[in-house]
Every structure is written in C-alpha cells, then in structure tokens.
Amino acid sequence: MAEKGIQQRQSTAREYVRELDKALHELWNLGRNLILGWAPRERGLDVLVIPHHRLTELQWFDRDILGRSLRLNHETLDRAAAFFRTGVVQLPLSFTPGKESIGAAAIDRIARRYSVTHAHHRAGILIDIVGFSLYSPLEQVAVLNNLAYSINVAHHRALANDVKIDLSRTTTGDGFYVWNRDDGLTADVNLFYVLMLILADNAIAQAKAAITAKKRKVRSTQPVLRTAFHLGSHYEYFLTDALNPSLNSFIVGDLTIELARMVAKALPNQILIGNFTRPTSESAAGTSTALDVSTPLFVAQAQKKLETFENVVLSGEKITAINAYLTGDRIADGYFNIKRYVVHDKHGLTRDVFNAKVNIHRGDAKPIFLGLQEAALSAFDAEGKEYVPENREQRMQTTRYGTVISEPVARSK
C-alpha cells in the first residue's frame, strides 16, 4: 500500500509539472517574453513577465534579481513590476506550491527554461581542439565525438567517486565550454577535478590512438587540446528547439569572454588557469574578505580533492594518482615559485594567467605528463613574473607533486 501511495504521489507531481510547464510556455509566447520572477499564491503563482528586448533595462533596476532562484517575495515582485510598468500575472493552477504538490526548487527548474539567470562567481572550462579546421568534415565529427566521450567518462567517474556535480556543456564548433550548474566553492573545485579526468582520459586515448593510426597509416582523430580554466560571472539561458526552450542551457558573460581570450593565447597542449579571487561563500559575492580564495589556493584545494579519489579507470587503464600544480622557476632543491603571466589580446587588453601542469600516474606504467613545462614556453606570448600574494602573509610555492603553502618568507623591500 505504501508503495502504491508513493507511485500515486509521483504521478500527481508529474501532472503538476506538465500543467505548470504548459502555463509558463504560453506566457513565454515563442520566446517573445521572459519569466523574470515568481511568488507562490493559493492555487497558483504570481509571475512577472517582460518582453525579452527589455531585459537590458535591469541595469537601472537590480540585475541581481536574476539570481539562481527566480523565486521572489511579493514586495520585490511588485517593485519590479512597477519599474517595468507592467502588472503581475496571476497564473491559476490546480495546486498550491508546497510540500503537498511541487516545491520551490522544482518550480524554479521549470521557470529557468523560460528566463535568464545570473551567477556572480562560477568556474568554467574552455577546451579547444588544436588545428580543427585542418581536419576533413568527417574527421571533425570524429574528433568532437572523441572529446565529448572523454567529458562523458570524466563525468561518470566523478559521480562514481561521490563527487557531486551537475555538469553542462555547449559546443563552440571546435571544442566545448563546460561548467557545473551547482553553486559554491566546492562546486568549482569539483569542476576542476572533472577537468583533470577529462584531460587524463584524452591523453591516454591519444597515446593509444597514435599507435593504432601509425599501424594503419591514417591520421589519429584523438584531439590535441589547449585548455583554459577560469572563474567569473555569466548569464545562463535556453535557446529554442522546435518551438520550445531547449533542455540544454548556454552561458555568456565575462567568464566565457575571458576563457576565449585565454585559449586564443594558449599553445598546443597548454593548460592555462585564470587569475581570480573566489569568495568562500555565495553570500560573500561582491565582497572581499580574508577568506577569499586566490588561484594558487584554489589549485591547492583541488589537489587535496584529487588525492581522495580511489583507483579510477580511464581509457582502459587504472589511474593511481593525478597531481596538478602551477609552474614556476626552481628556487631550491625540489621547490619552485609560482609564475604569473601577463597576456595581451588583440583588443589591447591584458589579463593575468597561470601555467599548469598535470602528472598522471598509472601504477607500474610510465606516468603521463600534461601541460607545458616552463622550459617549453618560449613561444608563449606572455610576460612572466613571480606571483606574490597581495597580502604578503604567505608565499605560494609548489613542489613537483602539487601546490603547497609555505610559512611566511621574509622579503627585501
């Protein structure tokens, strides 16, 4: 009886979801309108709907209204409606939002497909296939599929190791933007973890494909990559697919712009990580505190995450350890500083980046080394200098096994 009751509640919830989606789809009107926010009411929702071309007017109101949750209190909803000189739509439904029907999180997931949301701080990856235009059209399909497969494998292995991640991606034509829909510092560290698995799987597959291609006297379609990882703000939205919002989202904003400009400067096989400061919590967004996490500290946290995973099989081989670190110059036996590079783009703008290396250990087999060493960066169009934390409380150093934090080091003025 209990199982039958659960099935009945699940069936009813699905009916409520379909009802809500149909009602919001009508308000969306083939993409003419956006759902800007909603608030619960008895047997329905109060919904703020605006034409999509008026979205930019939010800069004179409050762009933070486009948070990860579209649920607003009634006061904010009325204030926004007054600003746009429109009324709040009273959307009648056969149920009242809540535990007995469908909750706020489920309503939000449905409403976001008809809206635009904004994230202050989120990590993102851009993986670019080197020499993509030189492949034939059929080879281009193959290399994109091979990269997509590595992303799928990495996602699956991460979940198997209890790494919580809601991975999303969109193609750039010759690569992919990849991000984690989950929020927070831990979510960003988890994305970096997945990136390491993506690169590891592709590298192992690449080595095997090269042997096979040589025997068959054909060109390998396992891609050579250049990769950028950064953290910044972005907007997320859904394009139209067959007169409905698609199930896959897209991101655009400072994050994607920075990633694209970083990759444009990256050498084949290079891994670049942007210079960022990440608040330790979403509530700290827009503020600067002693708890903010810099890029070197972020990589150190990610390395600790990498040390927790048990043996992972990638491309048929067991991986016993993955070590990621930022490169720099040797300052003592086994110790290196961290170098920060200044790159200039075609628009005359500059940005700071770090060069990263990844060592993949495979038990008794030879390790695989990803990324470029300092000695291989002569063609890298950037100016390098030692990284010094702004607060000078700690000096970041790396060993060949990852980033560590040393005791404060005295410096000459």
At 280-317, the pLDDT tens digits run: 765 444 444 446 888 998 998 888 888 877 668 888 88
Would you say residue 412 lies in a domain?
A: no
pLDDT the model gives residue 407: 40
Answer yes or no: do 293 and 162 share one domain.
Answer: yes
Instruction: Return d(Cα 58, Cα 409) in angstroms, integer.
Output: 47
Answer yes or no: do 161 and 223 share one domain.
Answer: yes
CATH number for 299: 3.30.70.1230
- CA distances (Å), origin 216, targets 135, 220, 371: 18, 10, 28
Residues 6+ apart with CB under 8 A from 140: 132, 174
Answer yes or no: do 189 and 55 share one domain.
Answer: no
**Closest CA relative to residue 177, chosen from 241, 123, 136, 224:** 123
Backbone dihedral region for residue 197 (phi beyond 0: left; psi -120 to 50: alpha; all else: beta)? alpha
- pTM for this entry: 0.88
At 122-138, the pLDDT tens digits run: 999 999 999 999 999 99
175 compared with 105, residue with greater pLDDT: 175
Answer yes or no: do 108 and 163 share one domain.
Answer: no
Would you say residue 379 lies in a domain?
A: yes
Query: Across-strand partners of 45?
Result: 40, 91
Q: For residue 345, give the DSSP letter.
A: -
Domain boundary, last residue among 52, 79, 114:
114
Answer yes or no: do 257 and 289 share one domain.
Answer: yes
Q: Tally the domains of the chain.
A: 2
Angle in degrees, 0-180, between the axes of helices 2-28 and 104-112, rounded to the nearest 10: 40
With beta carbons less than 8 A apart as the criterion, state whether 51 and 69 touch: no
Answer yes or no: do 360 and 216 share one domain.
Answer: yes
Answer yes or no: do 148 and 266 share one domain.
Answer: yes
pLDDT the model gives residue 265: 95
**Closest CA relative to residue 203, chosen from 260, 98, 127, 262:** 127
Instruction: Return d(Cα 57, Cα 165) in angstroms, integer.
Output: 33
Answer yes or no: do 280 and 173 share one domain.
Answer: yes
Would you say residue 410 lies in a domain?
A: no
Would you say residue 76 lies in a domain?
A: yes
Domain boundary, last residue among 46, 80, 114:
114
**Closest CA relative to residue 226, chosen from 135, 152, 132, 314:** 132
Q: State the CB neighbour count (10 A cutoff) for residue 318.
A: 12
Residue environment code for 32-59, b if the CB has 16+ CB neighbours within 10 A, otherwise e:
ebbbbbbbbbeebbbbbbbeeeebeebe
Is 251's pLDDT higher than 80? yes
Domain that holds residue 150: 119-405
Is 374's pLDDT higher than 80? yes
Answer yes or no: do 108 and 124 share one domain.
Answer: no
Confidence of residue 332 (pLDDT cuts 50, 70, 90): confident
pLDDT the model gives residue 310: 67
Answer yes or no: do 264 and 372 share one domain.
Answer: yes
With beta carbons less than 8 A apart as the criterion, state whether 293 and 287 touch: no
Answer yes or no: do 290 and 191 share one domain.
Answer: yes
Answer yes or no: do 233 and 168 share one domain.
Answer: yes
192 compared with 98, residue with greater pLDDT: 192
Torsion of CA 71, 74, 79, 82, to 10 degrees: 100
